[in-house]
């Protein structure tokens, strides 16, 4: 029989959990927020796919002479994959952190014993997972329905650039959130 927290020995209650153990929980929490938020899913996954399909429908047989005569879809697929990385890394972070701050989640989180970096690391892990899904979806649509060729040696290159882009966009989104003004109800009264 497992005892409740209050009935455990004093030494066991004092033992703090390492923050690294909290990362999967925070990542799961943020993943649930992304799945439950229709705007997050729409911005990160649907908009790049809609743009890819719409631009391919407008220019089905057009080629880009300046790039060696490649099809427009061949150029648009990695471009929309990069756009998906930007949307996940910057837009979702800015929207998510700003909403969490406006709703007081970050203020309540600061009073908990968990470190703030674990919260943002969980958010980053979720952004990495959503980025992988979004890039795979965009590239999959390009490969399956638009006749795009993706050489095997370019897959690692695409993954590396997507990871670097996610880190930069996440950092810029986090910086933008820290520079945004606080809502009126969160400001300290002056005077």
- Prediction pTM value: 0.76
What's the start-to-end Cα distance of the chain, in Å? Answer: 57
**Domain boundaries along the sequence of the chain:** 19-180
Cα–Cα nearest to 124, from 184, 173, 73: 173
pLDDT tens, residue order, the chain (191 aa): 555 555 555 555 455 567 778 888 888 888 888 888 777 778 888 899 999 899 888 877 776 666 677 777 888 888 898 899 888 887 777 777 777 888 888 888 888 877 888 888 888 888 888 889 999 999 999 999 888 888 877 888 888 888 888 888 888 877 776 666 655 555 555 54
What number of other Cβ atoms are within 10 A of residue 131's Cβ?
25
Task: Output the pLDDT for position 9.
Answer: 58
Predicted local confidence at residue 4, as pLDDT: 54
pLDDT of 1: 52
Which pLDDT belongs to residue 138? 92
Q: What is the pLDDT of residue 16?
A: 54
At 5 the pLDDT is 52
CA pair distance 51, 56, nearest whole angstrom:
8
State the Cα–Cα distance between residues 23 and 83, nearest whole angstrom.
27
Q: What is the pLDDT of residue 141?
A: 92
3-class DSSP assignment, residue 144: helix
């Amino acid at each position: 029989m497992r005892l409740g927290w209050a009935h455990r020995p004093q030494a066991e209650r004092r033992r703090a959990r390492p923050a690294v153990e909290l990362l999967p929980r925070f990542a799961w929490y943020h993943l649930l927020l992304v799945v439950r938020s229709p705007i997050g899913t729409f911005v990160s996954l649907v908009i790049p796919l809609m743009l890819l399909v719409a631009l391919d429908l407008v220019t089905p047989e057009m080629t880009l002479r300046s790039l060696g005569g490649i099809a427009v879809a061949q150029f648009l697929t990695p471009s929309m994959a990069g756009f998906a990385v930007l949307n996940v890394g910057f837009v979702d972070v800015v929207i998510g952190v700003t909403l969490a701050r406006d709703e007081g989640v970050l203020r309540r989180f600061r009073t908990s014993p968990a470190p703030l970096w674990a919260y943002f690391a969980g958010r980053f892990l979720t952004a990495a997972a959503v980025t992988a899904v979004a890039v795979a979806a965009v590239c999959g649509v390009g490969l399956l329905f638009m006749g795009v060729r993706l050489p095997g040696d370019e897959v690692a290159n695409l993954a590396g650039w997507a990871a670097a882009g996610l880190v930069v966009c996440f950092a810029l989104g986090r910086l933008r959130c820290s520079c945004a003004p606080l809502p009126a109800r969160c400001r300290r009264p002056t005077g």
